[in-house]
Structure 1
Amino acid sequence: MSVIKEFFKKKKLESKFKLAGPGHTMTSSSSSTSATNKMVKTAGPSHSRLAPSEGSKRAGAAALARFEQNLKQQEPNWSLAAIRAQARKELELELEAQKRSKDGGPEEVSQEAAPLLAVSGVYYSCPLIGPEVLSKQAIEDKIKNFLYEQLSEERGLTSCLIIHTCNQNKAQISLGIETLSKYLTNIIENPTEEKYQKIRLSNKVFQERIAGLEGALEFLMACGFEQQKLPHGNGEEDFLVFQKDKLEDLETLRMLKDALQTSEAIVPELDRGLRVLMPSQAAAMVNLPDDFFSLSKDEIKREQELRERQVELNQQLRTRSMKERDEVKELRKYKFTLIRIRFPDGILLQGTFSVMEWLRDVKYFITENLNDPSKEFELLSPGGQKLTKDEERLLDLHLVPAVILHFRFTEQLEGKHIQEDSFLKPEVMALLQYI
């Protein structure tokens, strides 16, 4: 079975599972759920990730063993205990420095240039085409090349994906799909009418709605049309002509029409760029790459020049709503945000998020990397406020463009002592970077 057919099959199964609602084990009642299931409900992302195969797990374990061996040779005292001790020491120094400081308020992340880059760029992946992590343009080109390579194997379904994925104008896509569907509906409902079996390429509707739509011609060919020259007016013109033998298989036309209308674009997934940091590394200044900004360098420079006017406005008597509008406008300069989660042992987990993602996505990211994902936890903002609005966007929560959140287990609030060798999985801790 082709990759594209497998892709459509998987999408259909996913949609059925979504309609079926939450699942339950055979030994539990419908009202009881485990702590893990609670976490998935509240923090689960809008898309699912493929579980690693046994081969991938073995390869990962081997890579981890090699990493540890190399690291021990470079640093004989390397261990989780040593890491915790170093992290605690750095935390104590940081707290002492804050106490000495007169204005030791909420943690802020400086965004000035520094030798240690917090993140080198924004990258994406696409499980359908492979494990590569690439820039936005590179991954989009790879997806497009992959789809065109699949045309020879599965022309109909692949052309549907090309239409949805490789065209940028949503209005043009919608209008094109409507017109293509009408072509097929006319043939399905009127199989003996020859006028519905020919499309003149110079026709105004075809030129405006179909000719510039990438993948549309391939779709019509897959349905059974072929390009021919036919008499028209005083000469000949190019037509797409539906082949008579295809009229015996109208069910295929119905299937292709349904696939065209229900397909979705293959969208690259934002790579988190997962990093694990010591407190001293997190204290270094953050250098955000240009990808994080929705404005060009020149536009940012112009914005900077308008700061003087902003200072004058702030000195004037202004309402709270006016200030909030200006604040939101300032935040919208960013497309992505760098989220760091500080654990009680001082270690920080770092990931890249779209500013339009939800707080639940951050929580799911943490859960994926926890040593014990069954325990419930909560996050605190830099100012110490508990973050509870899982269905609110990071932009609206002002967690932009870079922020440090604080992690704590819910059990800690109940006065229970939690002994943790490490809050994060060993394979995640192996990513710890030394300066």
Structure 2
Amino acid sequence: MSKIKKFFSKKKEEAAAFKVKLMGSSMGEGHKLNTPKPDAPSSSNSRGRKYEAYVPPKRNELSNEARAAANAALSRIDKKTSREFNTSLSAVKAQAKRELEAERRQKEEASANVEVSASTASTLSGVDNRNMACEGVFFRCPMVSDEILPKKDWKVKIREFLYQQLEEGDRGLTACLIIHNCNVKEKADDCIATLVRYLENLITNPTDEKFLKIRMSNKIFSEKVRYVEGALDVLHAAGFSEVQIDDEPFLLWTREQTEQDLDLPTLVDGLKNSECIPLELDRNLKVLLPSQARRVVLPNDFYRLAPEEIKKEQQLRSEAIQQAQMLRTKAMREREEQRTLRMYRYALVRVKFPNGLVIQGTFNVYEKISDIFEFVQSCLADESLEFNLVATSEGKFGEEDMDKTLFDCKLIPNSLLLFCPETSSSDGNAGDVNYLKEELFMLVQSM
């Protein structure tokens, strides 16, 4: 079986498995809207819960002692607010000191934001590659080859692979993938919808003359099909061939021209189920010395936005901070933080071991904490070793954290986790223990 047929066979199996799972799930018994509902058991019994409905506790009346203490506190507050401003030298100095301290904190916060902007700007300019934490974001594509390449290089490779498959066989199904992988999504979707309509009309009415031919000068055909990569190959595989009728170009269908071992319903399914060939994110594993782990500037590939959009975003954020620095509430700071996190598509995760070595990997921001644990485990000399990871912001990760994403835990755009073995080494100093596979030390020399 060719790679193209394997691809569509896998998609068909996944769709069938999803359908079985969906039908097998308990959806409950329906009822008509105009019929009374049967007496349903209590929610606690039907769901097997042990908890009763929450009843707010009744508040006790204040005792005489508590009421007297409250009144005394209120009277002290009244006295404090009615007191005149203390103009003594010590009081003025204290007030000035407090104001200077507040101003200093304000300046430190502003300079921190400027440093973040400068870091981002240096990332965008790409002037000093020596400070880059990694070279970029890399992917694998097992369907095409075993190479590890950036996404833009894979687009070229996938295009070459599909056109090679087009020459070798499975022309119709390969052309379906070409439409998806070699065109803009909107153009590909419009083209596929039009081709499906052509073929379904032909399947339903195989003898109707108006469905047997397509005028190539037709506006819909010209705009949505003719100039889309792979579209004419699909029609040729379906059995259409170019002819001249009254000095005008047409596509004419004959059953004899249909690709061998391909029928029209299969081709329609191929059009509907085809998609972009998936890429797998490569971890781009690095082993760093403590001095190398100081590089924290990320390349442009980590950003969700284009470089021009990031510059504009940073400029707007700096202006907003300058205008409303003293008025930022907690909610405003949280919104600003979320806005910053959404700028990134990938995250750089570093794990520091007791001996000072650091391993580094690239993750999608929506991957789970469990994926980080699997990554670390794959690097250990003893993969059965029990360990935990500690984040400076989150502390130790527990079982309840395994399904959280890096975005949920704010481990974006880069984070440093500490490796903590569950059982300490009996040899004494944990800093002398090597936990990594020996072959990974070759990666230190390549940095």
Aligning the two structures, in what range does the TM-score lie when normalised by the shorter sequence? 0.5 to 0.7
Alignment of 1:398-409 (within 5 A): 398-409=410-421
2:435 to 388, 403, 423: 423
CA distance in 2, matches of 1:144, 1:340: 34
Residue of structure 2 equivalent to 1:257: 268
Alignment of 1:79-118 (within 5 A): 115=130, 117-118=132-133
Alignment of 1:27-426 (within 5 A): 115=130, 117-153=132-168, 154-169=170-185, 171-231=186-246, 236-245=247-256, 252-282=263-293, 284-306=294-316, 308-313=318-323, 315-375=325-385, 377-387=387-397, 388-409=400-421, 412=422, 416-417=423-424, 422-426=434-438
Q: What is the deviation of 1:374?
A: 4.2
AA paired with 2:181? T
Q: What is the deviation of 1:194?
A: 1.9
Residue of structure 1 equivalent to 2:92: none
Residue of structure 2 equivalent to 1:27: none
AA paired with 1:180? L
**Distance of aligned partners of 1:199 and 1:177 in 2 relative to their CA distance in 1, 3 Å threshold:** same
AA paired with 1:428? L
**Distance of aligned partners of 1:331 and 1:220 in 2 relative to their CA distance in 1, 3 Å threshold:** same
Q: What is the deviation of 1:304?
A: 4.5
State whether residues 225 and 240 of structure 1, in contact with CA within 8 Å, keep that contact through their aligned partners in structure 2. yes
- 1:265-312 deviations in whole A, cap 9, x for unaligned? 113332221101233322x23232232234455554444444543333
Secondary structure, aligned partner of 2:301: helix
Secondary structure, aligned partner of 1:210: helix
- 1:100-150 deviations in whole A, cap 9, x for unaligned? xxxxxxxxx996768454202222232222122222222111111110111
CA distance in 1, matches of 2:285, 2:383: 17
AA paired with 2:2? S
Q: What is the deviation of 1:198?
A: 0.9
State whether residues 240 and 257 of structure 2, in contact with CA within 8 Å, keep that contact through their aligned partners in structure 1. no
AA paired with 1:3? K
Secondary structure, aligned partner of 1:122: coil
State whether residues 188 and 250 of structure 1, in contact with CA within 8 Å, keep that contact through their aligned partners in structure 2. no
> TM-score under structure 1 normalisation?
0.67
CA distance in 2, matches of 1:299, 1:189: 49
Q: What is the deviation of 1:250?
A: 10
**Distance of aligned partners of 1:368 and 1:264 in 2 relative to their CA distance in 1, 3 Å threshold:** farther
- Whichever of the two has the greater Rg, that structure is 2
**Distance of aligned partners of 1:12 and 1:307 in 2 relative to their CA distance in 1, 3 Å threshold:** closer
Q: What is the deviation of 1:161?
A: 1.0
**Distance of aligned partners of 1:226 and 1:360 in 2 relative to their CA distance in 1, 3 Å threshold:** farther
State whether residues 223 and 253 of structure 1, in contact with CA within 8 Å, keep that contact through their aligned partners in structure 2. yes
**Distance of aligned partners of 1:132 and 1:313 in 2 relative to their CA distance in 1, 3 Å threshold:** same
CA distance in 2, matches of 1:6, 1:270: 22
Q: What is the deviation of 1:427?
A: 2.8
AA paired with 1:336? Y
Q: Which of 111-120 and 147-156 deviates more?
A: 111-120
State whether residues 140 and 268 of structure 1, in contact with CA within 8 Å, keep that contact through their aligned partners in structure 2. no
Residue of structure 2 equivalent to 1:31: none
**Distance of aligned partners of 1:352 and 1:4 in 2 relative to their CA distance in 1, 3 Å threshold:** same
**Distance of aligned partners of 1:377 and 1:207 in 2 relative to their CA distance in 1, 3 Å threshold:** farther
State whether residues 305 and 343 of structure 2, in contact with CA within 8 Å, keep that contact through their aligned partners in structure 1. yes
State whether residues 240 and 258 of structure 2, in contact with CA within 8 Å, keep that contact through their aligned partners in structure 1. no
AA paired with 1:275? K
**Distance of aligned partners of 1:167 and 1:373 in 2 relative to their CA distance in 1, 3 Å threshold:** farther
CA distance in 2, matches of 1:150, 1:273: 29
AA paired with 1:191? P
Secondary structure, aligned partner of 1:152: helix
**Distance of aligned partners of 1:418 and 1:314 in 2 relative to their CA distance in 1, 3 Å threshold:** farther
Q: Which of 372-381 and 269-278 deviates more?
A: 372-381
AA paired with 1:155? R
Unpaired runs of 5+ residues, structure 2, are 22-115, 123-127
CA distance in 2, matches of 1:221, 1:260: 14
**Distance of aligned partners of 1:174 and 1:305 in 2 relative to their CA distance in 1, 3 Å threshold:** closer
State whether residues 367 and 373 of structure 1, in contact with CA within 8 Å, keep that contact through their aligned partners in structure 2. yes
- 1:7-60 deviations in whole A, cap 9, x for unaligned? 434555666777898xxxxxxxxxxxxxxxxxxxxxxxxxxxxxxxxxxxxxxx
Query: Which protein, 1 or 2, shows the higher relative CO under an 8 Å CA cutoff with sep ≥ 6?
Result: 1
State whether residues 133 and 296 of structure 2, in contact with CA within 8 Å, keep that contact through their aligned partners in structure 1. yes
State whether residues 114 and 285 of structure 1, in contact with CA within 8 Å, keep that contact through their aligned partners in structure 2. no
**Distance of aligned partners of 1:263 and 1:364 in 2 relative to their CA distance in 1, 3 Å threshold:** farther
Q: Which of 201-210 and 243-252 deviates more?
A: 243-252
Q: What is the deviation of 1:360?
A: 3.6
Unpaired runs of 5+ residues, structure 1, are 22-108
Residue of structure 2 equivalent to 1:98: none
CA distance in 2, matches of 1:116, 1:247: 58
Provide the aligned length of Structure 1 versus Structure 2: 337
CA distance in 1, matches of 2:327, 2:405: 30
* Percent identity between the two aligned chains: 42
Q: What is the deviation of 1:400?
A: 1.4
CA distance in 1, matches of 2:373, 2:439: 19
State whether residues 157 and 256 of structure 1, in contact with CA within 8 Å, keep that contact through their aligned partners in structure 2. yes
> TM-score under structure 2 normalisation?
0.66
CA distance in 2, matches of 1:354, 1:136: 14
Secondary structure, aligned partner of 1:364: helix
State whether residues 359 and 390 of structure 1, in contact with CA within 8 Å, keep that contact through their aligned partners in structure 2. yes
